[in-house]
Amino acid sequence: MPFLIKKQRGPAKLAASFAPKTSAGIMFRDQVTRLMRVRSLADFAIGRALRDDSMLPQYDMPSR
């Protein structure tokens, strides 16, 4: 599966959690969002769906 397609499917699976239909759902979403500030919890909950550790090539900066 191409890299970009794989990366685009991760957030699509989480889309419903960004727009809950009830006030209780909104409060739950807000609390979970606050918990995502703790990196270990974010890694556990989301895993690699939204994060990528791939290395990009190093490019030389042009001189001015």
- pLDDT attached to residue 33: 86
pLDDT tens track for 8-50 = 776 777 777 778 889 999 999 899 889 888 888 888 877 766 6
Q: Is the pLDDT confidence value at 62 over 70?
A: yes
- pLDDT attached to residue 24: 94
pLDDT band at 1 (very low <50, low <70, confident <90, very high): low
Spatial distance between the Cα atoms of 36 and 45, rounded to a whole number of angstroms: 8
- pLDDT attached to residue 36: 84
DSSP letters spanning 8-63: HHHHHHHHHHHS-SSHHHHHHHHHHHHHTTSHHHHHHHHTTSS---PPPPP-PPPP
- pLDDT attached to residue 22: 92
